[in-house]
Amino acid sequence: MAEQPQRLPWWRRVGDALAARASAYRSRSMRWRLLAPAVFVVAGALFVTSMVSSGGTDLRAGRYDDLDGLANNEARDLAGLRAQASDLNGQVDRLSKDLGSSDARSARARADALRGPAGLQPVHGPGLTITLDDAPDEALAAVGDSGDVSQLLVHQQDIQAVANALWAGGAEAMTIQGQRVVATTGIKCVGNTVVLHGVPYSPPYRISAIGPADEMRSAVFSDQQIQLYLQVVEAAGLGWALEDAPELSMPGFRGSTDLEFARVG
């Protein structure tokens, strides 16, 4: 029969239990004393990091310490914008009144009076029409490679000579190929075409002018360059026709009147 373990007296059992509890307490106390400083160090580091990151501002969005100050600043900004708007409205009112003043009306009247002479308004009236054309094909073929074919073609200087003579004869308005001629109109020869206001045209070329027909006709036949042109007309059949026009209708110029290039002398 197995021997039964000896049972300790009660007072010994109580003493052992108290000793075990005290040992466990001392162990937990030691761990806390070791962990507490580390916890405080970590907490302090987090606090410093938060303070540096915030730069002294409140990290909790939506929270304002000085709502009255913010409201006052917004009110001042709004008042400034209203003052600017009022000033601009005043300027608009003053400019609107100036447009109705006598000086403005007089300036507009002077500008309107110049629209006609500047070629910006449509006009009607009697005048002349002159047509220039290249020599017929048989005349060009007869010249061949040995001759100067360019003398049998209409060039920009021929058109310019006719236009200048008509102006000298008192022309009040003019069109070339139906386009209104103004102060900035340029005539340029490109190959066998003439470019007017950026548009190329082929012969025949029609130049019409409103004005005193007799004076314009006299000025045309008195021009030396036109006289040379007429000699080729008789000799080789270069195209020429002059007609009276009892009623001409000319549109106002609608393009740009800005002068891009100019040369003096």
Q: For residues 102 and 206, state if they share a domain.
A: no
Per-residue pLDDT, 111: 59
Q: For residues 202 and 242, state if they share a domain.
A: yes
Q: Which domain holds residue 84?
A: 79-113
**142 in any annotated domain:** yes
Give the pLDDT of the chain (265 residues) as one tens digit per residue.
Answer: 445 555 555 445 545 555 555 555 555 555 555 555 555 555 555 555 555 555 555 444 444 455 566 666 666 776 777 778 778 877 877 777 666 666 666 666 665 665 556 667 788 999 999 999 998 888 777 776 666 777 788 988 999 999 999 999 999 999 999 988 887 777 887 877 888 878 888 999 999 999 999 999 999 999 999 999 999 888 878 899 999 999 999 888 776 555 555 455 5
Per-residue pLDDT, 85: 77
**178 in any annotated domain:** yes
Q: For residues 87 and 146, state if they share a domain.
A: no
DSSP string, 28-70: HHHHHHHHHHHHHHHHHHHHHHHHHHHTTS--STT--S-HHHH
Per-residue pLDDT, 262: 47
Q: For residues 100 and 128, state if they share a domain.
A: no
Per-residue pLDDT, 188: 82
Per-residue pLDDT, 92: 79
Q: For residues 130 and 242, state if they share a domain.
A: yes
In whole angstroms, how large is the CA radius of gyration of the chain?
A: 52
Per-residue pLDDT, 14: 47
Amino acid at 87: D
Global confidence as pTM:
0.56
**52 in any annotated domain:** no
How many domains, the chain?
2
CATH number of the structural domain spanning residue 186 = 3.30.70.1880
What per-residue string of b and e applies to 119-151 under the rule 16 or more CB within 10 Å gives b? bbbebeeebbebbbbbbeeebbeeeeeeeeeee
